[in-house]
Structure 1
């Protein structure tokens, strides 16, 4: 192997550079993986969310084991793995109460150096908590959705959806499509997608939405009541990270329902509520940051069972030399869903969908 590798490095939203970086060295209990493919996440477009710059892009990689550290017995060269970029620990106050992802330890555990590069190192803690050998029945592209849509599954777990409930999703980008697609697995009856883009609403139909609403063209509350026997939605998930979208989402929740916050507002952004209405409407507000090892395990089983149309969520494919263009498309957020970067080149059978 070479001592250096190519990596796509984030310096700013409009400054993604292809740089040479050292191939990580592994220690006992660790693995080195060759990056087969890595998805780009909309969270990477939120400049305020970046903890450090410059930073290697990507946290949704699928890799093949190329080096095995001393003491590793559960994995071997050639294994195709999903390994969550953050992993928790068992022995902490937060973890013991089920909040693995809010333990400060969780965010400190990272892939080295990231996902959009040719090779990455994973620690012994990663292997102990959230590493999975992928069966042949799960394609590499489908596997790219494990990290992000496990976050969707994690969110749906806390929405208390009852069989037959009407679920609305405000924002039909890639993550919104995930909530639309997985909600029926939790018992949803009607699933309503809301977005300003008719293209995204059409995609939502493909992923299982029974109804769609474009708030630019119609009053969303009136449209919801018209399609839901005069009622609002039992559960509303808001993905769009804007105060106006959060207000719209709250306006769509039926008395006794649930509002799930599926993405954060920027720090310092106010979200003001009518205190009287908040008391009497008995609306539960939930949130869920990221996914833990229980979520990824559940999602992989659903994927293996054929319950999830993950391959259909891949809209664009790029080689690493075009990572800047891939990121520009992600920021543009128009006619795209999951964008995948192939650090070693787009496979011939996927080249038709490459940009």
Structure 2
């Protein structure tokens, strides 16, 4: 590196993304500095209640090793790597019970300073828990999906899907498309995507949906029974973060099925169920926050095997200096899926009209 300063996209508010100069992070013993090759933008960054202070945008980067701290011997300069932005620990009550992501330690571990910047530092704990040298068969763009769709995989693990089950996904944005696409790997038979956007429903077909329903133009419950031999869905996954969407999702679950909450409602928003039905319907409600190192490892193996069409999920590419425009596309959430920002310029072999 020829300079100790770098460019970063800093989020101050939903409509306030600034391009700033920041110092290149200094690494210590056991740590590593990576050059950011690409970073995805996450829909979670559009939830104003989830962001509490100005921060460097992005937590889905793929990087190239440019500097190694003392004692780091498992990696070398030039390695292309994915390193999860949050990592857990082994020695805690929650971790020992498998809830790595709910241990407060997990969220305290972050990439320094973030993803949409020229360089980022990773700690020794990151390297110990969830660091991966990417195989040549996984492109940098495909690798951008590792963090978010590992969260999808993590959620599907708790959905109780049995071979041949009908699975419905309410909300067909990027994360919803992930649930549609990965559900058959967990045994799903029919996969039904629901969304108000016909464009997103068409994309869901490309990612493996066997049926689609637009609740804006048809009765979703009736349509589900028609396509599913008179039954509702065995598992329903709801991504849309609105009480009305959760109500719609619950109405689509068959007796004895599973309702998976794939995204949170804002704080202090109540969601009320009928207590009598909650008892007799025997519907299991599950949720899963983020992904741990076991999910990441599984997803990377699936990606390398060719089971996942990650490249088809990339809809927009931006240079880092165009991050405000990239974030605007993310917020508008119209005809977009995964938006990728390139801190060192969009490669000419991947450029497409945004």
The interval holding the TM-score normalised by the smaller chain is: over 0.9
> Would you say how many aligned residue pairs link Structure 1 and Structure 2?
353
Unpaired segments ≥5 residues, structure 1:
none
Secondary structure, in 3 states, of the residue corresponding to 1:16? Answer: strand
Shift of 1:101: 0.1
Q: Equivalences for 1:22-101 in 2 at 5 Å?
A: 22-51=23-52, 53-101=53-101
Give CA-to-partner distance per residue, 1:39-61, whole Å, 9 cap, x none. 0000000010013x210000000
> Is contact 1:346-1:354 (8 Å) kept?
no
Secondary structure, in 3 states, of the residue corresponding to 1:112? Answer: coil
Q: Which residue of 1 aligns with 2:281?
A: 281
TM-score, normalising length: structure 2: 0.99
Q: Which residue of 1 aligns with 2:226?
A: 226
Return the alpha-carbon distance in structure 1 between the equivalents of residues 324 and 353 of structure 2.
14
Secondary structure, in 3 states, of the residue corresponding to 1:321? Answer: helix
Return the alpha-carbon distance in structure 1 between the equivalents of residues 19 and 224 of structure 2.
47
Return the alpha-carbon distance in structure 2 between the equivalents of residues 354 and 128 of structure 1.
39
Q: Which residue of 2 aligns with 1:212?
A: 212
Give CA-to-partner distance per residue, 1:150-184, whole Å, 9 cap, x none. 00000000001000000000000000000000000
Secondary structure, in 3 states, of the residue corresponding to 2:114? Answer: coil
> Is contact 1:318-1:354 (8 Å) kept?
no
Q: Does 1:159 align with 2:159?
A: yes
Instruction: State the superposition RMSD in angstroms.
Output: 0.5
TM-score, normalising length: structure 1: 0.99
Q: Which residue of 2 aligns with 1:322?
A: 322
Q: Which residue of 1 aligns with 2:331?
A: 331
Unpaired segments ≥5 residues, structure 2:
none
> Is contact 1:36-1:344 (8 Å) kept?
yes
Q: Which residue of 2 aligns with 1:194?
A: 194
Return the alpha-carbon distance in structure 2 between the equivalents of residues 276 and 226 of structure 1.
27
Return the alpha-carbon distance in structure 2 between the equivalents of residues 340 and 118 of structure 1.
14
Q: Equivalences for 1:177-192 in 2 at 5 Å?
A: 177-192=177-192
Q: Does 1:238 align with 2:238?
A: yes
Return the alpha-carbon distance in structure 1 between the equivalents of residues 194 and 98 of structure 2.
31
Return the alpha-carbon distance in structure 2 between the equivalents of residues 298 and 30 of structure 1.
25
Q: Which residue of 2 aligns with 1:15?
A: 16
Q: Which residue of 1 aligns with 2:343?
A: 343
Q: Equivalences for 1:100-179 in 2 at 5 Å?
A: 100-179=100-179
> Is contact 1:323-1:341 (8 Å) kept?
yes
Return the alpha-carbon distance in structure 1 between the equivalents of residues 253 and 346 of structure 2.
43
Shift of 1:115: 0.0
Secondary structure, in 3 states, of the residue corresponding to 1:307? Answer: coil
Give the ranges of 4+ consecutive aligned residues of structure 1 lying more than 3 Å apart after TM superposition. Answer: none
Secondary structure, in 3 states, of the residue corresponding to 1:248? Answer: helix
Return the alpha-carbon distance in structure 2 between the equivalents of residues 141 and 219 of structure 1.
38
Return the alpha-carbon distance in structure 2 between the equivalents of residues 276 and 160 of structure 1.
23
Return the alpha-carbon distance in structure 2 between the equivalents of residues 277 and 12 of structure 1.
41
Return the alpha-carbon distance in structure 1 between the equivalents of residues 87 and 353 of structure 2.
32
Give CA-to-partner distance per residue, 1:317-349, whole Å, 9 cap, x none. 000010000000000000000000000000010
Secondary structure, in 3 states, of the residue corresponding to 2:350? Answer: helix
> Is contact 1:34-1:118 (8 Å) kept?
yes
Secondary structure, in 3 states, of the residue corresponding to 1:236? Answer: strand
Shift of 1:350: 1.2
Shift of 1:354: 4.8
Q: Which residue of 2 aligns with 1:6?
A: 7
> Is contact 1:261-1:285 (8 Å) kept?
yes
Shift of 1:202: 0.1
> Is contact 1:146-1:299 (8 Å) kept?
yes
Shift of 1:212: 0.1
Secondary structure, in 3 states, of the residue corresponding to 1:348? Answer: coil
Return the alpha-carbon distance in structure 2 between the equivalents of residues 16 and 233 of structure 1.
41
Give CA-to-partner distance per residue, 1:134-165, whole Å, 9 cap, x none. 01100000000000000000000000100000
